[in-house]
Amino acid sequence: MKQVYKIGASDDLNPSQAVLLIEISEIHCCFGIIDYANFMMVQFGYYTVDEKDHGDILKKVIEQHDELKQSFRQTVVGYYTNENVFVPSKLYRYEETQNLLQSIYEKAQNIVVSESIPEWQLYNVYHVPTQTHGLLSRRFATGNFWHAYSIILKNTIVQNEGGNLVIDFKKESFMMVAIRNNTLLLAQIFLYSKAADVLYWLLKTCQEFSLAQNEVKLTLSGLVDKRSAVFKELYQYFIHIEFAPVDNDIQLSRDFEDYPAHFFSSLYKLAVCVS
């Protein structure tokens, strides 16, 4: 696996007074450790798979970081996966969820998970790889587990009359949630290799859902900044662009001073599930 970022340390932090935030997909794994006393992120790690990888990236990250093997006050995990279906709450039937997913996606060694998003009157039904789910369940038996789409929807989104595109960037992929008039239009993860790929999918989404480029609001987070080719490409086509602010009362330690706060947005959005 490849190390993308390793920031800060938690050596002096009592794990029983710390919160572990993890985000996991098939091609990346990132984590943050937060001092619960002041809700400050003190450590961050980000890894991606490479062509030599054989096995679960989560297992490799845990093996490389002994601090992740400790017992934390609380652990919150975000699944960054694309095989999901949103079901209106009034139509949701637990016993039908497996057949529903299998009718859309190929049968595989996956666990079916369902979670309620009462703020949107929806259930998010999705697949999690069996190996990943088993490792997380054994290692973090008392953890809270959520899908990345659900986390976005559970965080407050300031509604824009022209619609909202909430976008989070990873290495070679990005997640987009499209909303207008308090209605969820789209939630999807896209792969990309160049800035033009990102622009294509955003323009395609605007076209499909009749969102005007000069009215829709883009909220960017993750691995993107004003100097990036992606931002420069989007800036030519969209008027209303902002970077996600730090929310949920999260602070960043001094080790993070050289990085934009929105780089860590997907993790501190997980903090909405911390009790």
Report the run of H or E that residue 264 belongs to, with start and end.
none
Tokens 């054989």, residue located: 54
| Tokens encoding 60 | 């490799």
Instruction: Give the single-character DSSP code of 39.
Output: T
Instruction: Give the single-character DSSP code of 246.
Output: P
199, 233 contact by CB (below 8 A):
yes
What one-letter code names the amino acid at 244?
Answer: A
Q: How many CB atoms lie within 10 A of CB 141?
A: 8
| Tokens encoding 44 | 């961050």
What one-letter code names the amino acid at 121?
Answer: Q
Q: 22 pLDDT band (50/70/90 cuts)?
A: very high
Q: Classify residue 258 by burial, with Cβ atoms within 10 Å: 0-12, 13-18, 19+.
A: exposed
Q: Classify residue 114 by burial, with Cβ atoms within 10 Å: 0-12, 13-18, 19+.
A: middle
Q: How far is CA 254 from the centre of its chain?
A: 24
The pLDDT tens digits for 94-153 are 888 888 888 888 766 788 999 999 999 999 999 998 888 888 888 887 788 999 999 999
Angle at 77 between CA 254 and CA 151, to 5 degrees: 90
Q: 54 pLDDT band (50/70/90 cuts)?
A: low
Cα separation values, 219 from 7, 63, 230, Å:
24, 35, 13
Q: How far is CA 161 from the centre of its chain?
A: 25
Q: What is the pTM of this model?
A: 0.92
Percent of the chain with pLDDT over 90: 64
Give the pLDDT score at 108: 67
Structural domains of the chain ordered from first start? 2-79+247-273 (3.30.420), 158-243 (3.30.420.260)
Instruction: Give the single-character DSSP code of 257.
Output: T
Q: Does the CA dihedral 18-19-20-21 come out positive or negative? A: negative
Instruction: Give the single-character DSSP code of 141.
Output: T
Closest by CA to 129, choosing from 102, 108, 115, is 108
